[in-house]
Amino acid sequence: MTRNWKVGVVGMGYVGLTLAAAMARRGSYEVHGVDVQPAVVDSLSRGEPHIFEPGVGEAFAELVGKKIFVASRLPEGALDAVVICVSTPVDSATHEPYLDNLVAATEHVAERCRPGTLVVVRSTVPVGAGRRFVLPPLVREWGAARLVMAPERTIQGQALRELVELPQVIGGIDQDSLELGLDLFRGLARQLVPVSSLETAELVKLANNCHTDVIYSFGNEIAMLTERLGLDPLEVIRATNLDYPRPDIAKPGYVGGGCLSKDPYLLLSGAERHGYTPQLIRTARTVNENLPVHVARRVVDLMPGGRGGTLTVLGWAYKGWPPTDDMRGTPITAMMPVFTAAGIRVLGHDPRVRREVIRDHGGEPVDLAEGFRAADGVLIVTDHPDYRAIDVPTALASSRLKFVFDSWRVLDAERVTACGVHYAALGFERSEPSRVPPSGVVA
């Protein structure tokens, strides 16, 4: 029989917020969320999440004050477990991990909780960080510690479902900690995967995300090649993958978000402490980071006169599907300096990102119709469903557009060029309707 748990969650960003909602929706958890930002504590205490994720708003609206409690500090003493979910960013210049948040959270747990409380690290960390940075403050305060690593591996837009359906990997500092960690997550996840150590669990999360980064980088390399060869990367990739019994090649696209943009550096940092530099992972990250800058320079080249003018950017979050308002690792951050240097006025639209956030990132918020009407060019950055639904002839009918750069190929290139507008995408360009029939399977 599953026991009832009184659980603290330190850090109410995306990871902590979704975990708190998922646990509280199950019958065996009372959740006490903690955050150092007063505005976050205030909004969550009213049942109003500050981050968009399907199902989270409903969970907080229903369960705050009943199964979810939010404050600036953990309740003293009486928690069975505390899950650390604070951010672990990397320095934008050196790419070195910043773990002060992890240490501060651990010290708060050591101060507020009793010896014997299970401490769970859910933040993504370099291999070895749990033993080096979390264990010592707990041992200094308590004499001994129960400690596990249980990495978060969900995708935005599906977090509440995946927290239940994805296997939960758990590694402990010792067997007692491991058994408690398994017991904690038994009431949430359908499948538990115990591993032999903290470090194994830490590397599992990093391996997942670095592998994804490498996969995406290969599709981006193909696009860089087809751009120079005058070929279509989607045609190449489609033909390559069709009924071929080897791993599929990913379509080209931007690689951002809070995980993929930093986790390779966390892995590199831990590896280099042990005398090894994973060259493939470093190169893949470089390829993916260079893509937004490359696209921004192509867009500048497409502007009338090669600079100046007005550009509408559709999609400011780091991705469009599943929809999110997350700006971490968004391509626009790397693109805006290129546009600013070229004297381009940037208009902005995103179905989920607030207008003030677009302004903070250098754009002027507009609706879709105005974005097409007022610009010399349109850059579609994400594949949000609203952009896939754009009626091309209507959108272009009253515009002065010279080009559309459609990063995710959400519009029909033939319909764009039929309106006399140049069409460009990752690794692909077209100025007039094609006379070549679409590729397909010949029986």
443 residues of the chain, pLDDT tens digit each: 568 999 999 999 999 999 999 999 998 999 999 999 999 999 999 999 999 999 999 999 999 999 999 999 999 878 999 999 999 999 989 999 999 999 999 999 999 999 999 999 999 999 999 999 999 999 999 999 999 999 999 999 999 999 999 999 999 999 999 999 999 999 999 999 999 999 999 999 999 999 999 999 999 999 999 999 999 999 999 999 999 999 899 999 999 998 999 999 999 999 999 999 999 999 999 999 999 999 999 999 999 988 899 999 999 999 999 999 999 999 999 999 999 999 999 999 999 999 999 999 999 999 999 999 999 999 999 999 999 999 999 999 989 999 999 999 999 999 999 999 999 999 999 887 665 555 555 44
Report the run of H or E that residue 344 belongs to, with start and end.
none
Mark whether 55 and 167 lie in a shared domain: yes
| 437: in domain | no
Q: Among residues 173, 197, 221, which one ends one of the domains?
A: 197
| 440: in domain | no
Mark whether 75 and 144 lie in a shared domain: yes
Specify the number of domains making up the chain. Answer: 2
| 328: in domain | yes
The residue type of 339 is F
CB atoms within 10 A of CB 440: 8
Mark whether 261 and 174 lie in a shared domain: no
CA-CA distance, 147 to 178, in Å (whole number)?
Answer: 8
Mark whether 134 and 180 lie in a shared domain: yes
Mark whether 80 and 158 lie in a shared domain: yes
Answer yes or no: are the C-beta atoms of 84 and 123 closer than 8 Å.
Answer: yes
Q: What is the pTM of this model?
A: 0.92
Long-range contacts of 73-76 (CB under 8 A, 24+ apart): 73/34, 73/108, 73/112, 74/8, 74/10, 74/32, 74/34, 74/108, 74/109, 74/112, 74/113, 75/8, 75/32, 75/112, 76/112, 76/113
Torsions phi, psi of 294, nearest 5?
A: -60, -45
Q: Among residues 176, 197, 218, which one ends one of the domains?
A: 197
Q: Domain of 391: which CATH number?
A: 3.40.50.720
Q: Are strands 192-195 and 168-172 parallel, antiparallel or unpaired?
A: parallel
pLDDT value, residue 1: 52
Q: Are strands 377-380 and 403-406 parallel, antiparallel or unpaired?
A: parallel
Mark whether 234 and 193 lie in a shared domain: no
Mark whether 302 and 190 lie in a shared domain: no
Mark whether 124 and 261 lie in a shared domain: no
126 HSE (CA, 13 A, CB side): 21
Coil, helix or strand at residue 364: strand
Q: Residues 336, 341, 342, 344: what is their CA dihedral angle, to the nearest 10 degrees?
A: 50
| 256: in domain | yes
| 221: in domain | no
Mark whether 145 and 268 lie in a shared domain: no
Mark whether 75 and 190 lie in a shared domain: yes
Q: Among residues 179, 197, 215, which one ends one of the domains?
A: 197
| 208: in domain | no
| 115: in domain | yes
Mark whether 303 and 416 lie in a shared domain: yes
pLDDT value, residue 88: 97
pLDDT value, residue 432: 76
pLDDT value, residue 438: 52
Alpha helices in 251-330 (DSSP H): 257-260, 263-273, 279-302
pLDDT value, residue 389: 97
Torsion sign across C-alpha atoms 8, 12, 14, 17: positive
| 24: in domain | yes
pLDDT value, residue 443: 44
The boundaries of the domain holding residue 255 are 230-430
Mark whether 344 and 414 lie in a shared domain: yes
